[in-house]
């Protein structure tokens, strides 16, 4: 391989973070013959949300050789439900998507899937270490030195290239002061696992994820293997600040009582995990790459998880970043051009998800999702977006552009109702928050 003598470096590529993005990146680079070290600060298995996968992701699981292992861990997912005002649901089924994405995906317990991916990287020759924290890194003319700590022992590790796959820790983004919170879309979440959650009547086998809007945000119901269900609420941070005391389970139950349709589903349900909270969700780093470093997945940006894009974007960005790192190590003069193309490509796909996410709770989007029309295959284009097909399929992208035009026209036609509804919801939220605070 080109470049410095292997004796100069402990590895060719250092990957910080052992989640789906880091394990995928490490495996792909090892498949190309590079010496990869992956450092994970925790130990597997560790609890994580992001349990609902997308059909577009299955090709990547197959590429790294774990599709059948994933199938054994997963619960079949055939689409997504979005509620109507009358209590019924409209189901977007993946088998109606345009393009060639599979007609299904899986829902998984992340602690199981993440451990499987981590072990798969080891099987491919990656030096994958757990309970090893990267405290800081320093770049020089030829590579990067990482100062690490494991079991109380500090050490230094030298690599030719650094991949930050640290997720929402945004390790390198914080060190380089690149992280910017998203002022347009702020949210926080609480979530837990439950047993005996009822399925929708139209989905007796629990193969559909349900996304329910309510006054303070939206809620998810994700059926998992073994009969468990992941339930979570993504809310405005101002609402979560109304929580009083330390009884997280009671606050979760109080919030679910506000979610239309949740009462029937949660009747008789048993909470089998702690109720966890996480802070402001949305952010992005100003840069995605630089000399001898690159960010992937949540280490670069995190979107509201309403369309279950997190794991897919982490693994997809890893696959794209693999081309950058592999190319830069073989031909250093190409690094800047490869990084520029990578950043442009990823930003376009993220923006397509973000456009829908930022408008998800608007009255117009709610109406369009509750009663979609397949004029010019626009509904199928939206289903393709929900399946993760947002990067290269020109047919899908053309349908999404038509949907945006429909949204704009509907917004203009319903501007007065939209403004009145927004004012009413804000008034009700202020009253509710004041009442809760008084209690």
Q: What pLDDT does 391 receive?
A: 96
Lowest mean pLDDT among 146-150, 186-190, 207-211, 413-417: 413-417
> Over the chain, what is the mean pLDDT?
91
Q: What pLDDT does 432 receive?
A: 47
pLDDT of 28 over the 60 cut: yes
Q: What pLDDT does 346 receive?
A: 97
Average pLDDT over residues 345-350: 96
Q: What pLDDT does 85 receive?
A: 77
Q: What pLDDT does 239 receive?
A: 87
Q: What pLDDT does 436 receive?
A: 45
Q: Quick one: tokens of 201?
A: 């009547």
Domains of the chain: which residue ranges?
Answer: 6-51+109-182+283-351, 188-278
Single pTM value for the model: 0.91
Question: Residue 196: which of 232, 221, 233 has the closest Cα?
Answer: 221
Tell me which fold the domain 188-278 belongs to. Answer: D-Amino Acid Oxidase; Chain A, domain 2 (3.30.9)
pLDDT of 213 over the 80 cut: yes
d(C-alpha 283, C-alpha 345), whole Å: 18
- Would you say domain 6-51+109-182+283-351 falls under CATH 3.50.50.60? yes
Q: What pLDDT does 241 receive?
A: 83
For the segment 94-127, what is each residue's pLDDT rounded down to a tens digit? 999 998 999 999 999 999 999 999 999 999 999 9
Which residues, 6+ apart, have CB-to-CB distance to 92 below 8 Å?
A: 79, 80, 81, 82, 372, 379, 382, 383, 386
d(C-alpha 204, C-alpha 211), whole Å: 17
d(C-alpha 329, C-alpha 336), whole Å: 12
pLDDT of 323 over the 90 cut: yes
């Amino acid at each position: 391989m080109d470049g410095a003598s292997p004796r100069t470096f402990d590895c060719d590529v250092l990957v910080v973070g052992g989640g789906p993005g880091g394990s995928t990146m490490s495996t792909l680079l090892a498949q190309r013959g590079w010496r990869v070290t992956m450092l994970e600060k925790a130990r597997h298995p560790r609890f994580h949300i992001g349990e609902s996968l997308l059909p577009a992701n299955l090709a990547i699981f197959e590429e790294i050789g774990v599709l059948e292992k994933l199938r054994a861990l997963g619960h079949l997912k055939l689409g997504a439900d979005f509620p109507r005002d009358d209590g019924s649901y409209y189901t977007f089924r993946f088998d109606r998507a345009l393009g060639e994405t599979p007609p299904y995906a899986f829902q998984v317990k992340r602690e199981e899937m993440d451990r499987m991916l981590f072990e798969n990287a080891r099987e491919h020759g990656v030096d994958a270490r757990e309970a090893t924290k990267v405290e800081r890194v320093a770049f020089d003319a030829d590579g990067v030195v990482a100062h690490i700590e494991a079991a109380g022992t500090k050490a230094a590790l030298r690599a030719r290239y650094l991949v930050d796959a640290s997720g929402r820790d945004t390790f390198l983004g914080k060190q380089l002061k690149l992280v910017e919170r998203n002022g347009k879309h702020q949210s926080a979440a609480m979530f837990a696992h439950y047993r005996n959650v009822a399925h929708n009547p139209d989905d007796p086998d629990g193969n559909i994820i349900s996304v329910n809007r309510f006054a303070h945000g939206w809620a998810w119901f994700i059926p998992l293997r073994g009969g468990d269900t992941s339930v979570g609420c993504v809310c405005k941070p101002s609402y979560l600040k109304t929580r009083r005391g330390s009884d997280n389970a009671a606050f979760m139950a109080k919030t679910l009582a506000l979610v239309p349709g949740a009462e029937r589903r949660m009747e008789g349900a048993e909470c089998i995990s702690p109720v966890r909270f996480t802070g402001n969700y949305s952010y992005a780093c100003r840069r995605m790459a630089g000399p001898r470093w690159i960010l992937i997945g949540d280490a670069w940006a995190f979107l509201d998880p309403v369309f279950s894009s997190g794991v897919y974007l982490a693994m997809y960005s890893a696959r794209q970043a693999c081309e950058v790192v592999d190319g830069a190590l073989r031909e250093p003069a190409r690094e800047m051009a490869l990084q520029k193309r990578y950043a442009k490509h990823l930003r376009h796909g993220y923006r397509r998800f973000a456009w829908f996410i930022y408008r998800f709770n608007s009255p117009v989007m709610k109406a369009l999702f509750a009663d979609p029309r397949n004029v010019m295959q626009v509904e199928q284009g939206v289903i393709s977006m929900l399946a993760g097909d947002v990067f290269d399929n020109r047919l899908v992208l053309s349908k999404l552009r038509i949907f945006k035009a429909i949204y704009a026209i509907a917004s203009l036609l319903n501007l007065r109702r939209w403004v009145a509804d927004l004012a009413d919801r804000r008034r009700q939220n202020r009253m509710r928050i004041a009442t809760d605070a008084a209690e």
